[in-house]
Amino acid sequence: MRLRACAIAGALLLAACDSKPLDWNTLAASRIRDQVPAAQITVLDAKTLEASVGGKTTRIDTAELQLLCNRGPKDCNYAFDQVVITLRGPAQVAPK
């Protein structure tokens, strides 16, 4: 009985590991969409996104975001805040 339960648990674990991990483009696009829902985001290549809001287009280097996020949450939040300011404009940033 115990062996059968372990086999089932192992099979479920292997099935869950089949999906590929998220890349930085997907993570960055998701975080930007949370802050700027009107943003139209396009993946240009493995390390670059293009975000358009109200006719204004901005390129976002996700490799740079990754480096800053690897330094810690404070730097990561600051980097994404700067992206949001660039997309929305300084007058439209909501206070925290």
Where along the chain do its domains lie?
A: 21-92
Share of the chain above pLDDT 70, in %: 71
Nearest Cα residue to 22 out of 60, 66, 57, 64: 66
Greatest mean pLDDT range, 3-7, 13-17, 24-28, 91-95? 24-28
pLDDT in tens, 33-74: 999 999 999 999 888 999 998 888 899 999 999 999 999 999
